[in-house]
Amino acid sequence: SKSLKPCILELGGKDPMVFCDDVKIEDVVPWAMRGCFQNCGQNCCGVERLFVYESIQSKFINTILPKVQNLRQGIPLATCGGDGDVDCGAMVMDGQIEIIQRLIDDAVSKGAKLHCGGKRNTKLNGQFYEPTVISGITSEMKISQEEVFGPVMCIVTVPDDCDEECIKLVNNCNFGLGSSVYSASQERGMKIGNAFRSGMFTV
């Protein structure tokens, strides 16, 4: 070409969010909720993979599960008959529900644990998928490699609270757009995050 042409690309990803063993769970739960369920999970840089260190995982799930189960789902727009008093809306495309269901079913068939959700919300008339929490995600599951783009919190266990293993798990994916690490030590968080293959990083 004789000249350069400006180009803007809207890229998706499998953004990781990491919770180290030294975090205060009550402080990080709101970030996990927003990262996974804002816009009903339909964000190009939304959190797709949540890496929780093994020693805090049970407490984390027990803390966040009732919050996810209490999310209000429905139509937010008054022009469509809603009152705006909702937390999660609908999927943009009905076909996305089929994609999400395929990924959830694959993960469960390979040993993942479904804590809540995991299906279309049949109580509502429209393209609604229930806010979902699923744990025990491993790298051979499609949901760890393919974009979900929906209201799904995928929890990956970081065994033995090992930073090096966390880095390996995070980087075992071809799509790195954004990433974040939560730790009581900024130095530790920076060391972990700087090893990620991602375009953006927050500590």
Catalytic option among 36, 40, 44, 173: 44
**Crossing angle, helix 54-69 and helix 25-37, to 10 degrees?**
60
What type of residue is 131? P
Does the annotation count 10 as an active-site position?
yes
Dist CA 174 CA 13 (whole Å): 9
Dist CA 106 CA 125 (whole Å): 26
Dist CA 22 CA 53 (whole Å): 9
Does the annotation count 162 as an active-site position?
no
SS3 string of 129-144? Answer: ECCEEEECCCCCCHHH
Catalytic option among 7, 10, 26, 187: 10
Q: Which residues belong to the active site? A: 10, 44
